[in-house]
Amino acid sequence: MRFESAVRAWIAIDPDAAHRAELEALLEAGDEPALEARFGQALRFGTAGLRGALGAGSNRMNEVTVARAAMALLRWRPQASVVIGYDARHGSRRFAEVTAQVVAGSGGRPLLIDAVTPTPVLAFAVRDQQADLGVMVTASHNPPADNGYKVYRADGAQLIPPADREIEAEMDAVADDAIRPFLGVDQVLSGVTLDHRALIGRYLDAVVPGEAVGHPVVAYTPLHGVGADVFAAALERVGLEAHVVASQARPDPDFPTVAFPNPEEPGALDALLELATVQGADVALAHDPDADRLAMAVPTDRGWEALTGNELGALLADHRLATTRGQERLVVTTVVSSRLLAKLAAENGVRFEETLTGFKWVMRPAIETDLTFVFGYEEALGYAVNDLVRDKDGISAGLVALAAIERLRTMDLTPRQRLDELARHHGLHVSDQRTLVFDGPDASDRMAGVMNRIRTGGWSDVGGRAVVDTVDFADGSHDPGTDLLRFDLEDGSRIQIRPSGTEPKLKLYGEVVLAVAPHADVATTRDEGRVRCTELLAAAVDAIG
């Protein structure tokens, strides 16, 4: 049987009795598809690390995979000091402990945070501790069955190529006997922990803005994640206390009240908006489970509306550009985010940079230039409002969002009214996305086949709109390149397609830009834009087949 030798070798090393029993049963049943799903390939570095389903096998998150990754880090950076954080997902603490044991046993210096921690606090801690590397054990907003392993360099930002490929090569070179002493070990090494309370205090000292936030009524949910206590402490520093969704207030790795713990998903904010209505809130805020993303909903004359990632990005950028000074400022977004930020930057005379998707790229211009980084974002609810945390940070972004609302209040404007003003001045930018999910062990190959088919055949039009320009970010003319296709259409709209770096999904991004007539109702124009964007994405999905 295929994979039998690999499975037997795994059974001999995996300390998890349930894993061993499961593999024995699969061998006895001759279930080759199930074994291929676990051993047909190994987890690979995607967005700065590993992410996948929990379970036994090289294509799963487990102690063996984590120990191999930790040892690879020390082979890649001998004697490194490594700050290690973890969220409340299944296995997270154990994976963090295994990482600490491997780092210490491999000649490095582990600094294990002694309690669950939001991802932005770990990113801050890398520079705070002057560490060589950081590891965050989290799967962010993925389903409950997943976990992940995110790696940061000494500059506090996520890994970028070729570091990820180099670490992968080191993982492949780690022998079972090298990690065997660290598997199934219960004790945690003494003298290597960081006090999370002191660390969070320093983080808040750094990121809490010295701006007025007024006294808004705030509704909030951490979506069963680890952001609640840190955000409460941040709010306390600015004189606020939020009404928190009770059923989602404490960490729970099963995320029992939501189908999918991602604030972008339909239904994920239902409980929050119910609470906001009951409390008469001025704003509703949500973090994803590791608190690196921020969602915001606002009351309008149509009821509560959740802002898109691009809409919140525009509001935060508008605020940061209005409250900072100088021509040497920098704002950054990604190629799949709205084109509105470029227009705001030009209007304010500041540098605009467009990067590949992912915050490992968004923060590079902040690190590699002498300009003053004032804002960066990606449309998937990721925002950086300073250069102190070199990753997306839903906590500090939440504070700046409140400051932005207070500033608009003094101008007798609501967030939606300010967005309407921007639309009248720069055009109404309406964006949306669709996700095509690929199941099975050959998901990556099938996604690659779709992308290759589109490249080979090309698109002359999308939904009857002629394609006037096609950009292939993998054709060698972009440095760095990436697997992304962009189609610019005759009416100014745009479709982009790329495989996800962390999940078996093909992601489609659409943007429609409409002029707003001088006396037109922006809400009506927005409705028209949403319909056109939906139709555009549907046409692109149909073209994929």
DSSP string spanning 194-231? E-HHHHHHHHHHHHS-SS------EEEE-TTSS-HHHH
Both 388 and 315 in a single domain?
A: yes
Q: Which residues of the chain have pLDDT under 50?
A: none
Distance CA 453, CA 455 (A): 5
**Distance (Å, whole) CA 220 – CA 241:** 10
- pLDDT confidence of residue 21: 96
What single-letter amino acid sits at 191?
G
pLDDT at 472 (0 to 100): 95
Q: Are residues 82 and 222 in the same domain?
A: no
Q: What does the pLDDT read at residue 188? A: 64
**Shared-domain flag, residues 127 and 153:** yes
Phi, psi of 152 (to 5 degrees): -120, 150
CATH number, domain of 465, equals 3.30.310.50
186 and 227 in a single domain? The answer is no
**pLDDT at residue number 29:** 93
Max distance between CA atoms of the chain, in angstroms, equals 73
Is 149 in the same domain as 295? no
What pLDDT sits at residue 441?
74
List the CATH number of the domain containing 260: 3.40.120.10
Residue at a domain's end among 148, 174, 199: 199
Domain identity same for 61 and 173? yes
Q: 400 and 449: one domain?
A: no
pLDDT of residue 343: 98
Counted domains in the chain: 4
Question: Would you please indicate which residues are annotated as catalytic (active-site) residues?
Answer: 140
The identity of residue 181, as a single letter, is P
**Same domain membership, residue 441 and residue 370:** no
The confidence score (pLDDT) of residue 383 equals 98
The single-letter DSSP state of residue 302 is T
Q: Helices 415-426 and 522-544 sit at what angle, rounded to 10 degrees?
A: 70
3-state secondary structure of 390: coil
Range of the domain at 222: 208-426
Q: Same domain for 146 and 57?
A: yes
Q: What pTM did the predictor assign? A: 0.95
Residues 329 and 446 in one domain: no
Token pair 């973090």 is found at: 287
Q: What is the tens place of the pLDDT at every residue in 352-374? A: 999 999 999 999 999 999 999 99
HEC readout, 426-464: HCEEEEEEEEEECCCCCHHHHHHHHHHHHHHHCCCEECC
DSSP result, 356-388:
-SSHHHHTHHHHHSSSEEEEEEETTTEEE-SSS
In this predicted structure, what is the pLDDT of residue 47?
67
Both 50 and 25 in a single domain? no
Angle, helices 415-426 vs 309-323, to 10°: value is: 90
- Name the helix (H) or strand (E) containing 323: helix 309-323
Q: Is the domain of 386 the same as that of 474?
A: no
